[in-house]
Structure formats: C-alpha cells, structure tokens
Amino acid sequence: MTLPFRMMGVVNVTPDSFSDGGLFLDADAAIAHARELIAEGADIVDVGGESTRPGAEPVSADEELRRVLPVVEGIAGALVSIDTSKASVARAALDAGAGMVNDVSAFRADPEMAGLVAETGAECCLMHMLGEPRTMQRGVGGSSYGDVVDDVRAFLQERMGHAVREGVREERIVLDPGIGFGKTVAHNLELLRRLGELTALGRPLVVGTSRKSFLGRILADAAGAAEPVDVARRLPGTIATNVLAYERGARVFRVHDVASVRAALAVTAATLNAQWPPSATRTRTS
C-alpha cells in the first residue's frame, strides 16, 4: 500500500550528534543502519557527516566527505539525501548516487549550492534556521521573532524564490520550518500548531522533531522532573508531534525511529483520509 507521506530516516555519520553521535561513525555500521531504516519503511535515507546540534563545531569538507561517501556508495539504489551545506560535499555525494540535498542553511552557506542542485536536477530541502548551528540558540527568546510562523513563512518563500531564480525547478523543492533550530519551546509548539499556514507556500513540508530537546523538556514538565527526559525516552513525544504535523499538512517526516513513527502515521492517514479498506478486494474489518 502506498502511503500519502514519505519517511526520511536519519543516519548521522558523526561523533557528536545529539541523539546518536558516534554510533554510526564507522562506515559499515552506518550502512547497516541505513539498510535497517529502509527495511522499516524509510523512503529517503538522510546521511550527514557534520553535526547540526546547537553549539556544534564545523568540520572540513575533506573530513565530511571521508565520513559520508562510503555510506552513500554503500546504499546505492536507495533514495539518499545528503545532509550538507557544502557544495563540494553535495556534488561528490550526488556523483556517488545521492538524489537529494538537505541544506539546513537553505543555500545561504555556499553560493554554489543552488546552481549545483539546478544543474543536477536533484531534489532539495530548504530549512529555516537563525544563524548557524554554533550560534542558533544563543539569546533566543520571545523577542527573536515578530511572529515566528509569519517570519518562517517569509524566509522559506524568499529562499524558494532564490532557488527558482538560480534554476532549481520548484517541483524539486521541499521546505522545512526548522523545528529546534534557533527556536524556543514556545516557538516550536507555535509552528506545530500553525503548520497549516506554511502549506500556502505550495510545497511539501518536512518536519524534524525526532528526539529533540524541546520534547525532553515538555515530558519532564509533565512528570514534574527538573531535568529534560533522556533522548532514549522521547519517542512518544516524537510520535505525537509527527501525528499532529501530518494532520496540519506536513508530508515528509525526518525521524530516527522509522518503524514506530511510520506505523502511527499510517493509522493517522487512514483515519483522516477515510479511505479504509484501501482496495475493493480487502474485506477484513477487524
């Protein structure tokens, strides 16, 4: 059965990602993990060699390539997204078989990125972020935005316009409001509540809430705990936010736990779309 959404499974080939840093730094481990995610239902495998967690330090293009290229090559045949803001890394990954560029800078970090995506015809994801990973959470507060949803929508519209002017076909663009990137808990929740306002941009919306710290803080508050809930216990919050995001119009979900979130979204889609059973030959009602 074809589901009305796409799952993007996360493969961090890094020593310092917030959720799984170091687990898949070895290429063979990363390839095996990517294949597991595909078996669980990942439509896209997002491979990244540079952490974008708050405060993360940048790595050189050579180091990033050393980490990601063997993994991209090792899962040839899958739809691979290369999570990078460097055009040189993106080009090498696309040459190795990737079909998508996930740029958290929305083509701001490297002036050659938009032209590369246009030239290759790759799909791309443009994301909203204040500043850069090292600085995006510094000083973020209620006054960081006039209206966070309006500001994110205006930013994404401008970056999509830039990409199209550079030759990227609009139908190859997906947009990400950047949950957790330069935003408070309140900002993240406001974006999720009003996600439907971003569908007016006319492109599929990507949501990436998986295991993020704002979920840990919400779950801790609910339990009366002082410290955020550990990363390993944030799956319920991840599922809840993805279900809500689907209901509000998101159609691509970037997650670590593909099988669990995909199952929840399949039930959500069946409920909201009122299309069960999916075919005339299906008669079982239980």
- Average pLDDT per run of 10 along the chain, which is 286 residues long? 93 71 76 97 96 79 95 96 98 98 97 98 96 59 85 98 98 97 95 97 98 96 95 96 98 98 97 72 47
Rounded to a whole number of angstroms, the distance between the first and last alpha carbons of the chain is 18
Residue with tokens 């944030």: 234
CB 182 within 8 A of CB 130: yes
pLDDT attached to residue 51:
84
Of 145, 179, 204, which closes a domain?
A: 204
Strand pairing report for 173-176 and 6-12: unpaired
Q: Is residue 58 included in any domain, yes or no?
A: yes
Which helix (H) or strand (E) segment is 254 a member of?
strand 252-255
Of 204, 232, 253, which closes a domain?
A: 204
Other C-beta atoms within 10 Å of 139: how many?
A: 11
Hey, is 180 helix, strand or coil? coil
Whether residue 108 sits in one domain with residue 13: yes
Whether residue 117 sits in one domain with residue 89: yes
Whether residue 199 sits in one domain with residue 218: no
pLDDT attached to residue 279:
61
pLDDT digits 0-9 by tens, 61-98: 999 999 999 999 999 899 999 999 999 999 999 999 99
pLDDT attached to residue 15:
77
Of 74, 12, 20, nearest in space to 47 by CA? 12
Strand pairing report for 80-83 and 44-48: parallel
pLDDT attached to residue 152:
97
Q: Angle at CA 50, nearest 5°, toward 46 and 53? A: 90
Whether residue 107 sits in one domain with residue 239: no
Of 69, 26, 74, 67, nearest in space to 49 by CA? 67
C-alpha atoms less than 13 angstroms from C-alpha of 206 in its C-beta half-sphere? 24
pLDDT attached to residue 16:
53
State the catalytic residues: 212, 254
What is the extent of the structural domain holding 132?
Answer: 6-204
pLDDT attached to residue 179:
97
pLDDT attached to residue 130:
84
Of 170, 188, 204, which closes a domain?
A: 204
Hey, is 96 helix, strand or coil? coil
pLDDT digits 0-9 by tens, 55-69: 677 899 999 999 999
pLDDT attached to residue 274:
72
Q: Where are the alpha helices (DSSP H) in 204-283?
A: 213-223, 235-247, 258-273
Which helix (H) or strand (E) segment is 32 a member of?
helix 27-40
CATH number at residue 27: 3.20.20.20
Of 197, 207, 214, 196, nearest in space to 140 by CA? 214
Q: Is residue 133 included in any domain, yes or no?
A: yes
Whether residue 23 sits in one domain with residue 120: yes
Other C-beta atoms within 10 Å of 77: how many?
A: 7
Q: Is residue 280 included in any domain, yes or no?
A: no
pLDDT attached to residue 138:
55
Cα 55 to chain centroid distance, Å, stands at 18
Q: Report how many domains make up the chain.
A: 2
CB 205 within 8 A of CB 156: no
Q: Where are the alpha helices (DSSP H) in 169-234?
A: 185-193, 213-223
Residues 6+ apart with CB under 8 A from 32: none
Other C-beta atoms within 10 Å of 270: how many?
A: 16
